[in-house]
């Protein structure tokens, strides 16, 4: 073993046995890898001693044979000799995981294969010979995956992870593991770990927060107490409470400062200067470049890398507007750019300004939902407009172009309405089977009604045997689970919530979108119930109310509350004039009496649970009226019950009680005198009651009758509100205290280098085939040069403050207007048709009037 101890240095001859798959040339200078290379040289010396028959300590031949097999195995792992490795491991499978030369100072064949970058050997050892991927060497105390990460061998890391290598195993128990060896300098390795969520953060070491005091004796009681504390913390963060007034933490997950600090690009990114025009913070363009730029902006979503990064499209538009509005100060170019963008956006999203059509054909055909919009596309552009509004507000663009704010409000309302229509068109196909007709209560399906033909029906007996009772306790069968249920209905709502979250739509806009969706859900269910007698019964109301409660449970589990600043609304302050009235905007009255009115902005600062439940309240009250109506026996109980309803009017109560209610067999009927009381209330107080309510009704007219104030209008579109600057800074900026610096950089309108290169390439290509393009910068520079030359000439003539009358010729007004024009080059000048092609009317040069001449 002297050869092992004498191999303290290595030279060029130590590298002679290396295979073609050498470690990276930079890794050869690594001090840790140098120890493994020294170990390989010692293996070579031992192999030569065994082959020559030299055995200084007089060991037996069978020991030499075993050592020879191990050495050949390790050398084949170093050199990438798969044939030798396979022959040795088949004859000696017990040496695959053996440390050589000793357990105190040795390594396995897998460690050697990883260190010398032989992925074929690594794969063979793991798959064919069941090598343990978690055995560390005793030279450096690194596991195979720690070596692969340290030497930046990503393909080997993937192989080891595929074979269940422990990424967080620390051989020395000092906290050093494979994840701690990942550094941002190794970009490829870092991105792989980050994209697969393999970087160990403080969240993984949460037990350190609850560690017991080391100065006190530790016992099971303290361990149990810390466990309860952790469980209480987890429970309080995940279980929603409908009465909870605290909003959902906005800074969670990937927006945490610690997680953002792991991104080296974000740390080196300079802060965006909204008050200055720096060269890399605007995009220079001409009017002929606008179609190319718009094509690129709207194609960004199709790229896999940026398909959910909604900030980028808003940042490009913002930097274009900065150049046209602040750099060259061209109002025409800025208006033309913004109008082209909004027109293209309305075309892509199929949104129209002004009138909306939320009506859906109800013929039970799934093809009706195919006409609905793409919720991912609509959510993407809703988020992009939100960021564009954020950037415009911070850069005071609205002061020069107040029209832009009104246009963004109209666009947000259109997108919200279209997004709601898209979801509701899918929900409309499921509402009958999943909410109204779904029955899981046995007694509901067995009810006999008085007006039905019950000749061949009989009341089914309740389960009374042991087997019948046990069958009711078993979970539903697979066939029953496949039937339509409220779960399928809620999956559509979950899809909307997912796309809004993945695109980071502000909570205020999310609340407005869900409010519109739940308003339509309420109108759909309510109108179905109040239009058909088969649904207006006590038993059916109990079942439908149970199904509606599933929607309420979904609201509880997805509850979120909008951050409410000291002053809500106030978008007209961005225009510099608070007296300006914006249209399609929610009422900003902060009175508490409007807390439940969806026409007021204050309504949307409630939690999502309260917003959804308030929109569903008419349906809930109708179901409550159906359940308790026949239990009323006197006028006092009737009046007390009616006063509990906030959304049901006397017209609806009278129609249900007088026409629609379906009595069960042996059910007590509502006294006729109480029906007359409801009718008198409808006649005397009905119109005044309608005026006090904030619901929207539609008139149902038939050939013989006309019903008013009965059916709710599902096509009504609510106004919207954009978050003000304070809310946006709290959500996407540095926060009110300015401590979220990295989050501010993440959402600022900076563009990645790849996007900037793409834009430069497209602009260069566009200029190559455009002969005449209006260059605003060159024109401006030319004016400055001309002015300087003129001043120099005036100074040379000794006349500094005046211009000689004969020096410059005054240009015509028409020519001056053309030169001052900064807008679309296509419409800069219009040339009238040539007289050869068009004869002027009234031309009598030939002596004959036009109407008397021969037209042929």
Q: What integer pLDDT is reported at residue 229 of this predicted model?
A: 45
Q: Quick one: CA torsion of 296, 298, 300, 301, rounded to 10 degrees?
A: -170
- Is the pLDDT reported for residue 58 higher than 80? no
Q: What is the pLDDT of residue 700?
A: 73
pTM for the complete prediction?
0.65
| Structure token pair of residue 288 | 């002929």
The residues with which 449 forms a beta bridge, in sequence order, are 664
* 73 contacts 85 by C-beta, under 8 angstroms: yes
The 3-class SS string of 597-610 reads: CCCEHHHHHCEHHH
pLDDT exceeds cutoff 90 at 208? no
Q: What is the pLDDT of residue 484?
A: 87
Q: Reduced to 3 states, what is the DSSP secondary structure of residue 100?
A: strand
**Residues whose CB is less than 8 angstroms from the CB of residue 658 and which lie 6 or more positions away in sequence, other chains included:** 675, 678, 679
Instruction: Return the pLDDT at 237.
Output: 42
Q: Within 10 Å of residue 139's Cβ, how many Cβ atoms?
A: 17
Segment among 300-309, 312-321, 455-464 with least mean pLDDT:
455-464
Q: Which position has the higher pLDDT, 143 or 363? A: 143
Which is higher by pLDDT, 275 or 800?
275
How far does CA 41 lie from the centroid of its chain?
55
Structural tokens at position 729: 């800074």
Please give the structure tokens belonging to residue 676: 């007359």
The rounded distance, in Å, linking the Cα atoms of 488 and 433 is 10
Tell me the residue length of the chain.
856
Residue 452 predicted with pLDDT over 90 = no
Which is more confidently placed, 856 or 283?
283
Residues 294-322 have a mean pLDDT of 93
Using a 10 angstrom Cβ sphere, with 0-12 exposed, 13-18 middle and 19 or more buried, the burial of residue 550 is middle
Residues 762 and 293 sit within 8 Å (Cβ to Cβ): yes
Total Cβ atoms within 10 A of residue 701: 10
Average pLDDT over residues 663-690: 92
Task: Identify the pLDDT of residue 184.
Answer: 80
Q: How confident is the model at residue 776 (pLDDT cuts 50, 70, 90)?
A: low
* Predicted confidence band of residue 372 (pLDDT cuts 50, 70, 90): low
Range 492-518 average pLDDT:
95
Confidence of residue 222 (pLDDT cuts 50, 70, 90): very low
CATH 1.25.40.20 fits 2-199, yes or no: yes
CA 524 to CA 713: how far, in whole Å? 9
Structural contact between residues 484 and 433, judged by C-beta atoms closer than 8 angstroms: yes
DSSP state of 564: -
Give me 543's structure tokens.
Answer: 């079942």
Mean pLDDT of 267-295: 92
Q: Which of 343, 288, 287, 337 is nearest to 316 (CA)?
A: 337
CA-wise closest residue to 495 among 423, 432, 561: 423
In which residue are the tokens 């996007």 written? 755
Give the range among 14-23, 305-314, 775-784, 846-855 with minimum mean pLDDT: 14-23
Distance from C-alpha of 711 to C-alpha of 121, rounded to nearest angstrom: 74
Confirm if 398 and 392 have CB atoms less than 8 A apart. Answer: yes
Q: Average of pLDDT values for 385-394? A: 96
pLDDT at 726: 92
pLDDT tier for residue 532 given thresholds of 50, 70 and 90: very high
pLDDT band at 581 (very low <50, low <70, confident <90, very high): confident
The closest alpha carbon to 18, from 101, 77, 86, 99, belongs to: 77
Query: Is the Cα torsion angle 226, 231, 237, 239 positive or negative in sign?
Result: negative
> How confident is the model at residue 9, as a pLDDT?
41
Burial class (CB in 10 A: 0-12, 13-18, 19+), 544: buried
Instruction: For residue 587, list its beta bridge partners.
Output: 600
Cα–Cα distance for residue pair 168/179, rounded to 1 Å: 7
- Please report the pLDDT score of residue 183 as a whole number: 85
pLDDT beyond 60 at 734: yes
Distance between CA atoms of residues 825 and 770, nearest Å:
12
Q: Percent of the chain at pLDDT above 70?
A: 74
Predicted local distance difference test score (pLDDT) of residue 12: 38
Distance, in Å, from the CA atom of 247 to the CA atom of 236, rounded to the nearest integer, reads 13
The predicted model gives 121-131 an average pLDDT of 91
Report the candidate in 125, 112, 122 with the shortest Cα–Cα distance to residue 86: 125
Instruction: Output the DSSP codes for 19-73.
Output: -SSPPPTTGGG-HHHHHHHHHHHHHHHHHHHHHTT--TT---HHHHHHHHHHHHH
DSSP track, 121-190: HHHHHHHTS---TTPPPSSS---HHHHHHHTT-HHHHHHHHHTT--TT--TTSSS--TGGG--TTSHHHH
Would the pLDDT of 3 be above 60?
A: no
Which pLDDT belongs to residue 773?
52
Task: Give the residue among 733, 721, 720 at the shortest CA–CA distance from 394.
Answer: 733
DSSP state of 559: -
Higher pLDDT, 778 or 108: 108
Distance CA 548, CA 553 (A): 9
Q: Which of 322-326, 414-418, 596-600, 730-734 has the lowest mean pLDDT?
A: 730-734
Cis peptide leading into 101, omega within 30 of 0? yes
Residue 163 pLDDT exceeds 50 = yes
Domain ranges of the chain: 2-199, 256-417+737-794, 431-451+485-561+606-712
DSSP secondary structure letters along 481-537 = HTS--HHHHHHHHHHHHHHHHHTT--HHHHHHHHHHHHHHHHHHHHHHHHH-GGG-S
| Rounded average pLDDT over 807-824 | 48
Is the pLDDT score of 855 beyond 80?
no
In this structure, are strands 697-701 and 706-712 parallel, antiparallel, or unpaired? Answer: antiparallel
d(CA 763, CA 176): 50
pLDDT of residue 26: 47
φ, ψ of residue 123 to 5 degrees: the values are: -65, -40
For residues 75 and 116, the answer to whether their CB atoms sit within 8 Å is no
For residues 543 and 434, what is the distance between their CA atoms, to the nearest angstrom?
12
Q: What is the mean pLDDT of residues 145-167?
A: 91
Partnered with residue 698 across adjacent β-strands are: 711
d(CA 503, CA 577): 32
- The more confidently predicted of residues 704 and 795 is 704
Helix (H) or strand (E) holding 708: strand 706-712
Query: What span, in angstroms and rounded, lies between the C-alpha atoms of 43 and 10?
Result: 12
Mean pLDDT of 772-801: 51
Higher pLDDT: 353 or 601? It is 601
Q: What are the tokens at 634?
A: 């006197």
With a cut of 90, say whether residue 404 has pLDDT above it: yes
Q: How far, in Å, CA of 100 to CA of 139, rounded?
A: 10
**Banded model confidence at residue 631, pLDDT cuts 50, 70, 90:** very high
pLDDT at 258 over 70: yes
Torsions phi, psi for 100 (to 5 deg) = -135, 140
Strand partners, 817: none
Position with higher pLDDT, 611 vs 359:
611
pLDDT for 342 equals: 96
More confident call, 312 vs 451: 312
User: By the 8 A CB rule, do 316 and 759 touch?
Assistant: yes
Tokens at residue 317, please?
Answer: 């538009």
CA–CA separation, 308 and 377 (whole Å)? 10
Give the integer Cα–Cα distance in Å for 643 and 637.
10
DSSP assignment string, 803-853: --TTTSPPPPHHHHHHHH--S-GGGS--PPPPTTTSPPTT--TTSS-GGGS
* Residue 172 bridge partners (DSSP): none
- The answer to whether the CB of 652 falls within 8 A of the CB of 624 is no
How far is 301 from 295, CA to CA, in rounded Å?
11
pLDDT at 784: 52
Mean pLDDT of 497-512: 95
Rounded to the nearest integer, the mean pLDDT of the chain is 80
**pLDDT at residue 464 in the model:** 64
Q: How confident is the model at residue 299 (pLDDT cuts 50, 70, 90)?
A: very high
Q: Report which of 466, 470, 517 is spatially closest to residue 490, judged by C-alpha positions.
A: 517
Q: Binning pLDDT at 50, 70 and 90, where does residue 685 land?
A: very high
Query: What does the radius of gyration of the chain's CA atoms come to, in whole angstroms?
Result: 39
Q: Cα-flanking dihedrals φ and ψ of residue 706, to 5°? A: -140, 115
Q: Determine the average pLDDT of the residues in 639-652.
A: 94
pLDDT score of 210? 40
Q: What's the rounded Cα separation, in Å, for the pair 78 and 20?
A: 11
């Amino acid at each position: 073993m002297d050869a092992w101890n004498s191999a303290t240095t290595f030279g060029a001859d130590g590298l002679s046995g290396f295979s073609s798959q050498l470690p990276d040339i930079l890794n050869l200078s690594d001090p840790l890898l140098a120890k493994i290379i020294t170990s390989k040289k010692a293996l070579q010396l031992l192999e030569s001693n065994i082959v020559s028959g030299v055995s200084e300590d007089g060991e037996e031949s069978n020991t030499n044979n075993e050592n020879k097999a191990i050495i050949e195995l390790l050398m084949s792992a170093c050199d990438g000799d798969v044939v030798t490795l396979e022959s040795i491991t088949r004859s000696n499978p017990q040496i695959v995981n053996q440390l050589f030369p000793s357990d105190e100072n040795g390594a396995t064949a897998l460690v050697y294969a990883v260190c010398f970058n032989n992925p074929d050997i690594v794969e063979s050892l793991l798959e064919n010979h069941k090598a343990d991927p978690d055995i560390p060497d005793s030279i450096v105390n690194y596991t195979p995956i720690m070596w692969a990460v340290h030497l930046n061998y990503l393909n080997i890391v993937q192989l080891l992870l595929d074979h269940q290598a422990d990424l967080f195993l620390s051989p020395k128990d000092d906290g050093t593991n494979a994840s701690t060896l990942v550094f941002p300098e190794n970009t490829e390795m870092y991105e792989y770990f980050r994209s697969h969520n393999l970087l160990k953060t403080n969240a993984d070491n949460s037990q350190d927060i609850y560690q017991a005091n080391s100065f006190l004796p530790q016992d099971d009681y303290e361990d149990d107490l810390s466990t309860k504390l952790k469980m209480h913390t987890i429970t309080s963060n995940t279980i929603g409470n409908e009465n909870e007034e605290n909003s959902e933490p906005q800074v969670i997950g990937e927006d945490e400062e610690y997680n953002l600090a792991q991104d080296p690009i974000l740390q080196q990114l300079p802060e965006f200067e909204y008050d200055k025009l720096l060269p890399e913070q605007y995009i220079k363009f001409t009017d002929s470049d606008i179609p190319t730029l718009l094509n690129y902006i709207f194609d960004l979503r199709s790229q896999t890398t940026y398909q959910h990064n909604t900030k980028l499209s808003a940042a490009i538009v913002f930097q274009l507007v900065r150049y046209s509005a602040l750099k060259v100060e061209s109002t025409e170019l800025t208006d033309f750019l913004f109008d082209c963008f909004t027109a293209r956006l309305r075309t892509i999203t199929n949104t129209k300004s002004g009138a909306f059509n939320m009506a859906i054909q109800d013929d039970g055909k799934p093809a009706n939902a195919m006409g609905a919009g793409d919720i991912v596309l609509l959510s993407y552009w809703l988020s992009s407009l939100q960021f564009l509004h954020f950037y415009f507000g911070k850069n005071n663009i609205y002061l020069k172009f107040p029209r832009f704010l009104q246009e963004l409000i109209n666009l947000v309302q259109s997108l919200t309405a279209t997004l709601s229509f898209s979801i509701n068109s899918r929900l409309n196909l499921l509402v009958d089977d999943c909410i109204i007709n779904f029955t899981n209560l046995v007694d509901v399906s067995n009810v006999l009604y008085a007006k039905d033909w019950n000749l061949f029906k009989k009341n089914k007996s309740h389960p009374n045997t042991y087997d019948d009772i046990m069958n009711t306790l078993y979970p539903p069968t697979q066939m029953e689970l496949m039937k339509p249920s409220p779960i399928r209905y809620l999956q559509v709502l979950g899809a909307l919530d997912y796309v809004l979250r993945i695109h980071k739509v502000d909570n205020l806009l999310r609340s407005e979108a869900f409010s519109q969706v739940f308003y339509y859900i309420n109108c759909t269910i309510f109108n179905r119930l109040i239009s058909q007698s088969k649904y207006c019964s006590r038993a059916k109301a109990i079942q439908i109310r149970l199904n509606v409660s599933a929607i309420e449970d979904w609201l509880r589990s997805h509850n979120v509350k909008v951050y409410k600043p000291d002053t809500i609304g106030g978008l007209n302050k961005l225009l510099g004039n608070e007296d300006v009235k914006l249209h399609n905007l929610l009422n900003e009255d902060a009175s508490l009496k409007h807390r439940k009115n969806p026409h007021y902005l204050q309504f949307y600062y409630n939690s999502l649970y309260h917003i959804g439940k308030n929109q569903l309240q008419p349906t809930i009250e109708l179901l409550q009226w159906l359940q308790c109506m026949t239990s009323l026996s006197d006028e006092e109980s009737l009046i007390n019950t009616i006063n509990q309803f906030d959304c049901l009017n006397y017209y609806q109560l009278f129609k249900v009680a007088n026409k629609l209610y379906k009595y069960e067999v042996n059910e007590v009927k509502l006294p006729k005198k109480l029906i007359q009381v409801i009718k008198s209330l409808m006649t005397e107080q009905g119109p005044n009651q309608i005026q006090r309510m904030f619901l929207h009704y539609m008139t149902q007219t038939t050939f013989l009758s006309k019903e008013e104030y009965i059916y709710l209008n599902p096509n009504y579109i609510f106004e919207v509100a954009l978050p003000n600057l304070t809310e946006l800074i709290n959500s996407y900026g540095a926060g009110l205290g300015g401590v979220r610096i990295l989050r501010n950089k993440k959402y600022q309108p900076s563009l990645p280098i790849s996007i900037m290169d793409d834009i430069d390439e497209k602009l260069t290509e566009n200029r190559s085939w455009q002969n005449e393009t209006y260059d605003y910068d060159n024109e401006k520079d030319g004016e400055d040069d001309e002015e300087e030359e003129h001043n120099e000439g005036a100074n040379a003539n000794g006349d500094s403050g005046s211009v000689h009358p004969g020096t410059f010729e005054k240009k015509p007004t028409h020519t001056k207007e053309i030169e001052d024009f900064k807008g679309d080059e296509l419409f800069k000048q219009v040339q009238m048709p040539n007289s050869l092609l068009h004869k002027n009317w009234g031309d009598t040069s030939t002596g004959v009037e036009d109407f008397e001449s021969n037209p042929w």
